[in-house]
Amino acid sequence: MTRGLRTLSYRAQLAHGKSAGEIRYHVITGDPSQSWSVALCSKLDPQDVHRWTTAQTLKTIETTDQASPDRGWFLAPGAALPTVHPGWLESALLVASTETIDALALAERVNDAPQKLLTSADDLLGAPWRPLTLFSARAYRWDVDSDTVQPHKNTLTAKVIGPNGIGSAPTSTSAESALRRGSYLGNRPLPALLKIGLADRLPAVKTDDKESRPGVLITAPFLARGGAEHTLFETLTVLQSTCRMAFATLAPHREELDDRRSDFENLSPHLFSLGDWVHPDAMVPMLLHLIDRLNIDVLYNANGTTLFYDFAPRLKAVRPNLRIIDHLYDHRVGYIERYRDPELLQSIDACIAENHPIAEALATEHHWPVDRVPVIWSCGRPNDNLPPKGARDTIRRDLRLALGYTDDDVVFLTAARMHEQKRPLDLVRLAEAVVDTPGIHFLIVGGGPMEEAVDRAIAQAETTQIRRLPFRTDIPELIAASDIGLLVSDFEGLPVFLLECLQLGRPFLGTDVGDLGRVIRETGAGLVVEEPGDIGALAEAVRKLADRTVRRDFGTHALTAGRRFSPDHCAREYEKVLFGDRS
């Protein structure tokens, strides 16, 4: 399917930070001459070659000593095979087969300032780039006698992907970040306007996987460190034995949100960071190929991305038996607006709602059948990720001592991003409103765009009983050291912080947003304030929770309710929705 020309202003910053100019993408039909296999041209020890090839997720690797492979793509590693992620070759071939390029190199595996080593496509023919470059046999040949790679075209175009392209940790240097989605190199000076073709279809090659477990492809914009990724990881960990998994991210990873791809690689070697490599026009053919190659039964859009709502109808049209599941986190703004498109009703089999307001909005405003909008609450932490029961008193004593709190102090803990959604400045106003109540302390943990404003407000506050700590990973221990969980958010789905507090038997005070208020009321685990920003009502609730007996009663209910939010319980709910009758 040809979708015409797409123009994108694209600064491809090559070796010296120069622009490659404007790139024009043209969607073309797939090249049937491109086989879905890679020839490994090597004179290395066969046992070493065998160990390396079997470690890759791509299984169609042919070792050859022929001077020129007939077609497709080849590696010519030279003196040593590269140390790479198991999914590297499969991922690289996916990109190389989609774009009309002659070679593809993986920048992230070269450590010594790779951007200074690359000036043209000719640089890929020697060390250290040659072992990390996938060559097209239409443009290059391998000479077995001299063990060299030589071009046999006059004009060549190569692409460099990385440093975040395939499962690596993010980097903060601007020069390396410029390589995201690929820099283009030529053996001759690149023109002001590059014309890069994108294949609209790829050869469909099924795997040999005969097992009965269903396959699920999980898409997300990126795999950051947040509540959505927490629930996704913990529930899929429980479901590892019941299904096969693959992951595809559709947007460039954002360093400020942290990166959990290494965690998800423990669940599956099939992790494709498509958003770091390719233009969005190439997403559909890539996803279709993965669906066919990996025998995927279910596509689960685990977190919002605009691309999903563009390509879901198209995927359903060409793969009608593919089960497509979406997930929404807000009922007021964002991706729920896309549900005004009636075509989605025909394309998406079910939409998981993070809370009841989302389900109600889809049913009443967008006319979705209730049975296709299941509400599945987030999960807390696995028990072995919580402080051991026998150690909690010690953890509480030591942390409070380190933070400067006495045993008689009443500590309200907020763990959240410093973002307008969380209304962190309300916490400062709240602390000032209860300054007349002795022993009350507010501890804020988290960073984000509002952290400087929050710190200024704390410094200027008429109380010293509030402080902020930057992002920390020991939130369960901090919950154990505190007395009450607190969120004053403007909107929420169902915050994981609330569930962790319940699991550790801590009462909670929160605003009535998302299903936060519903959970507190149903479980009897704390107090709810109807309107965000109502400092008077929040102050009244804080004073009530200052009473030790009140806190003890709420805490007992919280501990009982916490069992309901275990990852095991949550995973079984997801299993029913993802696989339907198959489960």
The whole-angstrom separation of Cα 441 and Cα 461 is: 13
* pLDDT higher than threshold 60 for residue 12: no
Q: Tell me if 238 is assigned to some domain.
A: yes
Specify whether 100 is located in the same domain as 20: yes
| Cβ proximity of 520 and 576 under 8 Å | no
* pLDDT higher than threshold 70 for residue 178: no
Specify whether 330 is located in the same domain as 289: yes
The whole-angstrom separation of Cα 428 and Cα 465 is: 9
pTM of this structure: 0.80
The whole-angstrom separation of Cα 379 and Cα 361 is: 23
- Domain hosting residue 326, numbered range: 215-379+568-582
Q: Per-residue pLDDT averaged across 511-536, rounded?
A: 95
Specify whether 292 is located in the same domain as 371: yes
| Cβ proximity of 48 and 42 under 8 Å | no
Contacts by residues 284-287 (CB-CB < 8 Å, ≥ 24 positions apart): 284/200, 284/311, 284/314, 284/315, 285/30, 285/98, 285/198, 285/199, 285/200, 285/201, 285/202, 286/94, 286/98, 286/202, 286/248, 287/217, 287/219, 287/248, 287/311, 287/315
Range name among 17-21, 44-48, 193-197, 368-372 with the lowest pLDDT average: 17-21
What does 254-311 look like in DSSP terms, one character per residue?
-GGG---HHHHTTT-S-EEEGGGTS-GGGHHHHHHHHHHHTT--EEEE-S--HHHHHH
Specify whether 37 is located in the same domain as 117: yes
Specify whether 323 is located in the same domain as 393: no
| Cβ proximity of 81 and 48 under 8 Å | yes
* pLDDT higher than threshold 60 for residue 203: yes
Task: Tell me what the pLDDT averaged over the chain comes to.
Answer: 85
Write out pLDDT tens, residues 230-243.
899 999 999 999 99
The whole-angstrom separation of Cα 3 and Cα 491 is: 39
Specify whether 374 is located in the same domain as 476: no
Specify whether 237 is located in the same domain as 171: no
User: If DSSP codes are grouped into helix, strand and coil, which group holds residue 132?
Assistant: helix
Specify whether 352 is located in the same domain as 416: no
The whole-angstrom separation of Cα 569 and Cα 502 is: 15
The whole-angstrom separation of Cα 551 and Cα 537 is: 18
The bridge status of strand 466-469 relative to strand 440-445 is: parallel
Write out pLDDT tens, residues 470-507.
988 899 999 999 999 999 999 888 888 999 999 999 99
Q: Tell me if 209 is assigned to some domain.
A: no
What is the count of structural domains for the chain?
A: 3
State the CATH number of the domain containing residue 574. 3.40.50.2000
* pLDDT higher than threshold 80 for residue 171: no
Looking from the CA of 255 toward its CB, the CA atoms found within 13 Å total 12
Within 425-572, strands assigned E span 440-445, 466-469, 484-487, 508-511, 526-529
Nearest partner of 78 among 162, 146, 141, judged by Cα:
146
Q: Tell me if 204 is assigned to some domain.
A: no
